[in-house]
Structure 1
């Protein structure tokens, strides 16, 4: 049986960030990164808004809040160092007068999270920034930006491989058995149609949409440590022609739908798109149904009344893993280690949805520090 020190399951942006960080933190250790697809970052990591979030919305003291704020600055620094395409565009969170209290709540929460760059704008100031936007009030977030997520992931991969990380694509984890004699894990894998085994000392489950399935395959892991999760599909529409905006435009979030609302984003080429909406689904189907266009139009016209519906076209969709809470509230990221489940060497990451891209380097830093401090190496 082949043996490695660390096995990372899932080569999305979190797995790649972990591989890159651990290659530096654990020099000389054998690290393998497993990916079921033929390339890295094929699921949630490459089907999103590609926004670098400032850290405004998340509960103070949460992992989401701390890792978003820390990760934002790490990500901007990394992009500048590695010449990864990105732009700190800034965004407006727009509101009507009857939504002023919600806007003030966001402002207060952002300050609790250490984000002190927000500015409250009136209608005249909004028109100066975005003449086609209709709103009474807005929060201006200068630290929000956009990134080429594909370029980012390729840089992480190259750095990880330069540090000795082995990438195994087209490889699925079929099951895991805890080895009581050596305090490690025996993994049963399928690669290129063949079944094989691998032993590791540290196992990191960051399989995104499949993290719960991976956890269920770990013999000896109590079911109470496997959270409930649902697939949330987010559809995006493209606006043909020239973009009416030069910044990102977000409505006030609707707590009932546990999302940030159908917002306007820009890619690095200046193309405007709207989304995502929130569509709970049972299977991983990325088809965008054109019947959703009227709903999008209604929401968009709340802040962009000049929208020409004939310019809206289906674009793409993404699916994110969302943890289910008892009261229906938004769940925090879940990072488990031996303090949670009493299994030395097992780290599990669940519900890494937005702002996972922004938080990726901070999450990798957090888990890497936990592994370093565990005394396992």
Structure 2
């Protein structure tokens, strides 16, 4: 090992949230180094999602998910326009497939309004047919401010901002362990050129690995770590033309928002994710899972042809509440009051709508009394 390298601010994790945090701190004048264990930024959870800009409909009022999704959505749309990031405010429909589910849509409309999402409305079956002739249902909730984004272009813009404000990104730099010192955090960094560093501020934004990073910190009270659960979601792509111009969501299921129709910016349709609670991280897709996809999709698109779905990709959600807790759970953003150290902040359970909320999450981290 070489001598200890003294740094101002270190962000662990180069996914969309880690990049957003590093960007915000760099713009605020901190000298920032972002450590990413993989050869590329954004190659794990951030590259395995629906690329949806969420409106903020579902989350409990007063939760971090609700607050940061709604404010993050506004910031993200503004940022996309300023930086010419490919995106589309295509809107979405939450579809009630039977009369009993209409009551859920009415409840969801009130939830959206309580969260500050004031552009939603309910439509009946005829209104649904006028908007999307191939989609069927008893009623639907229209969310005009839901959109889609090229997440890779978004992350490239974050990286450009980090570097423009003097920050740097170290790839292939896994954090092997750490130790709380009096007013700094010492980290052991692996990779081709292992190094020991001491930082005045360390922000653990490592996503799926956030728990492992914290568990490796000597001096951290393990009681500060929330529960850790993994929810795996598979996506299947559609062979042929998309049946809708908007995103189509069913009434949610425990742990997720149901098998929904999403679109990429080229108009290609994919469906997912489903929810499978797992103990370990893997991204294999069992083609037989498509059997349940056909049934779920035909609740709102009855004319889905047999054999039209092909396995696309899968993603993992880091969750702080398991299936027995209903699969919900909020973002957890810990400053020094919760981690017990003035130089250490940690983020857990940053799943959907983490991409949408990323800039607002970063602002929240910056506002903490840190380092």
TM-score category of the 2 structures, normalised to the smaller one: over 0.9
Distance 1:300 1:227 in 2: 34
Distance 2:359 2:109 in 1: 25
- Give the 3-state SS of the residue equivalent to 1:313 in structure 2: strand
Q: Identify which of 5, 9, 27 aligns with 2:8.
A: 5
| TM-score, length-scaled by structure 2 | 0.96
Deviation readout 1:47-96 (Å, 9 max, x if unpaired): 00000000000010000000000000000000000000000000000002
Q: Identify which of 308, 312, 316 aligns with 2:313.
A: 316
Q: Does 1:157 align with 2:159?
A: yes
Q: Identify which of 163, 171, 174 aligns with 2:173.
A: 171
Aligned 1:210-359 pairs, distance under 5 A: 210-254=209-253, 257-324=254-321, 327-359=325-357
Distance 1:19 1:359 in 2: 15
- Give the 3-state SS of the residue equivalent to 1:287 in structure 2: coil
CA-CA distance at 1:342 after TM superposition: 2.5
- Give the 3-state SS of the residue equivalent to 1:171 in structure 2: coil
Q: Which residue of 2 aligns with 1:122?
A: 124
Contact 2:185–2:201 (8 Å) recurs in 1: yes
Q: Which residue of 2 aligns with 1:188?
A: 188
Q: Which residue of 1 aligns with 2:62?
A: 61
Q: Which moved more, 1:78-87 or 1:334-343?
A: 334-343
Distance 2:338 2:282 in 1: 33
CA-CA distance at 1:20 after TM superposition: 1.0
Structure 1, unaligned runs of 5 or more: none
Deviation readout 1:260-316 (Å, 9 max, x if unpaired): 000000000000010000112233221211101111000001111011022111111
Q: Which residue of 2 aligns with 1:362?
A: 360
Q: Give 4+ residue runs of structure 1 displaced > 3 Å after superposition.
A: 325-329
CA-CA distance at 1:329 after TM superposition: 4.8
Contact 2:5–2:195 (8 Å) recurs in 1: no
Structure 2, unaligned runs of 5 or more: none
| TM-score, length-scaled by structure 1 | 0.95
Question: How many residues matched?
Answer: 366
Aligned 1:37-76 pairs, distance under 5 A: 37-76=38-77
Q: Cα gap change, 1:327/1:231 in structure 2, threshold over 3 Å: closer, same or farther?
A: closer
Distance 1:77 1:309 in 2: 41
Q: Does 1:92 align with 2:90?
A: no
Distance 2:92 2:130 in 1: 14
Q: Cα gap change, 1:327/1:281 in structure 2, threshold over 3 Å: closer, same or farther?
A: closer
Q: Which moved more, 1:275-284 or 1:104-113?
A: 275-284
- Give the 3-state SS of the residue equivalent to 1:315 in structure 2: strand
- Give the 3-state SS of the residue equivalent to 1:45 in structure 2: helix
